[in-house]
């Protein structure tokens, strides 16, 4: 089923590498039809081309909105060479047969990112181009469709072997065509709907992972990881690595001071802020040096040689940082499979999606972060400045910890956390046990809860452990009992009014 390319229709927005393509086509004596700016570009190369308006008998009209929408154009694409009636009608109406169609659509998504001016956006909704893509994709038996500039390299590779295409190649490119058209339409729909109605998702890029959560499960990431980070060293990332990276990057962006976090199973097992990054690392590791083994490390500062030397003593899976000193990288490269990532952006989707039952759940990401000004002191005594700092620190961590969650902090260092428990009392007990196991003195520590305390029992246990300051959303019908106990025991407690469940 090899088919000779004798004629081509080219209508593109971006013209990078188009000169190489048309030169190859011209060398193979392919007759080229083209439109508007593409026609002018091809002619400027000294390569002959036929203007589409010479084929249709109509000029480009309505400010360029109508150029290719004509029976002679679509007849040339959709005509079936194995169908005698099609061939007869094409001969009757003097319709040629296009063997190759190259399209690059108006940049709708790029325009939406650059402007909010509605008319500019509307004019970047491609009509003719998307129609050409769909028509050529439908008739892949006779036509090779190249639906975007991202496929030019593959086309050039095909043309290097001569101006012939196989059915297999034409069918493969037809798949690309409908991937492009569906993604394009999804982007337009989402702009019109504002994301408030039916959901349309179309992601062209993907990475095949070693496996899913477990070796018997397949794993794929749909998206472009190269936009998030550069991988400088190490083996391929796993499904679980990516989950921990997502959790770690969401957590670390809460902090302005030099901060180090160690992630395990999507939760921080250690995190601390200090004036020097090496000190932040040491304090984070002290939070739970056992769980840190094989963890994912995340920091918001350039990793220096001193810090790298200390990190290098631990076995870990992944580290991500905004930058590294050269000597630091050489130290970290000492283990072959260790994954070293350099962060490019921490700006991600503002909507969180999750598969459930036979559909998807969608919600706004929890981007609310409370500071001292958001605290309502509800006890007779107010927290000290140090306690305020620790309450803010703890509340940031508990927001990113699986519910039910309790976080204990002292001197901007995670001392212990209770994660994913079915009761808040159990979460608190777990946090206290963890803190004591690793030698923390909880006298003067701060406690954060991701939701209100239904009873006063939690603050009673906290007081017995030496905790002196508490931050919680408030909102329980028994808040007055919890406040009364804090006043009696001398605890300082603040309400934020914001719950941070993370299921």
Catalytic residues: 138, 265
Strand 164-165 relative to strand 3-4, pairing: antiparallel
The residue to which tokens 């910890």 are assigned: 401
Burial (CB count <10 Å: 0-12, 13-18, 19+), residue 392: buried
Kindly list the distances between the CA atom of residue 393 and the CA atoms of 130, 140, 365, 372, 402, in Å, as whole numbers in the listed order: 51, 59, 20, 10, 17
Q: Which residues contact 1 (CB under 8 A, 6 or more apart)?
A: 166, 167
Encoding tokens for residue 13? 């927005």
> Is 425:458 a contact under the CB 8 Å cutoff?
yes
Q: Which helix (H) or strand (E) holds 164?
A: strand 164-165
Helices and strands (H, E) in the chain, number of each type: 18, 23
Strand 406-409 relative to strand 414-418, pairing: antiparallel
Strand 406-409 relative to strand 7-12, pairing: unpaired
Q: What is the DSSP string of 114-183?
A: H---HHHHHHTS-SHHHHHHHHHHHTTTT-EEE-SGGGHHHHHHHHTT-SEE-HHHHHHHHHHHHHHHHH
């Amino acid at each position: 089923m090899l088919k000779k390319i004798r004629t081509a229709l080219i209508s593109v927005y971006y013209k990078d590498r188009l000169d190489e393509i048309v030169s190859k086509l011209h060398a193979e004596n392919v007759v080229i039809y083209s439109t508007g700016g593409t026609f002018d570009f091809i002619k400027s190369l000294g390569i002959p081309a036929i203007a589409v308006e010479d084929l249709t008998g109509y000029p480009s009209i309505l400010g360029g909105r109508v150029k290719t929408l004509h029976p002679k154009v679509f007849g040339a694409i959709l005509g079936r060479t194995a169908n005698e009636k099609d061939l007869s009608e094409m001969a009757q109406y003097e319709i040629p047969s296009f063997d190759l169609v190259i399209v690059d659509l108006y940049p709708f998504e790029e325009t939406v990112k650059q402007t909010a001016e509605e008319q500019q956006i509307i004019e970047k909704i491609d009509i003719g181009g998307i129609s050409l893509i769909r028509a050529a994709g439908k008739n892949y038996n006779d036509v090779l469709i190249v639906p975007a500039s991202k496929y030019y390299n593959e086309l050039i590779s095909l043309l290097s072997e001569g101006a012939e295409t196989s059915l297999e190649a034409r069918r493969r490119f037809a798949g690309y065509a409908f991937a492009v058209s569906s993604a394009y339409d999804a982007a337009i729909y989402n702009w019109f709907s504002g994301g408030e109605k039916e959901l349309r998702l179309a992601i062209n890029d993907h990475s095949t992972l070693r496996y899913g959560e477990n070796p018997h499960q397949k794993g794929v990431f749909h998206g472009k990881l190269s936009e998030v980070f550069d991988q400088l060293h190490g083996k391929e990332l796993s499904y679980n690595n990516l989950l921990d990276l997502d959790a770690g990057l969401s957590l670390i962006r809460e902090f302005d001071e030099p901060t180090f976090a160690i992630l395990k199973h999507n939760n921080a097992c250690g995190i601390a802020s200090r004036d020097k990054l090496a000190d932040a690392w040491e304090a984070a590791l002290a939070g739970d040096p056992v769980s840190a083994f094989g963890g994912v490390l995340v920091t918001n500062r350039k990793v220096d040689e001193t810090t790298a030397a200390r990190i290098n003593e631990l076995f870990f899976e992944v580290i991500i940082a905004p930058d590294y000193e050269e000597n630091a990288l050489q130290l970290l490269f000492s283990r072959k499979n260790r994954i070293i990532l350099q962060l490019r952006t921490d700006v991600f989707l503002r909507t969180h999606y999750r598969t459930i039952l036979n559909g998807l759940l969608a919600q706004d990401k929890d981007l609310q972060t409370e500071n001292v000004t958001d605290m309502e002191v509800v006890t007779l005594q107010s927290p000290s400045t140090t306690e305020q700092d620790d309450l803010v620190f703890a509340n940031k961590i508990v927001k990113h910890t699986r519910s039910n969650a309790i976080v204990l902090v002292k001197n901007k260092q995670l001392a212990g956390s209770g994660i994913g428990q079915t009761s808040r009392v159990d979460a608190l007990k777990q946090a206290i046990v963890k803190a004591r196991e690793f030698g923390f003195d909880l006298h003067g520590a701060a406690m954060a809860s991701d939701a209100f305390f239904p009873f006063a029992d939690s603050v009673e246990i906290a007081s017995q452990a030496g905790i002196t300051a508490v931050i919680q959303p408030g909102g329980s019908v028994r808040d007055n009992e919890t406040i009364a106990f804090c006043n009696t025991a001398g605890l300082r407690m603040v309400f934020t009014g914001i719950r941070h469940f993370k299921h």
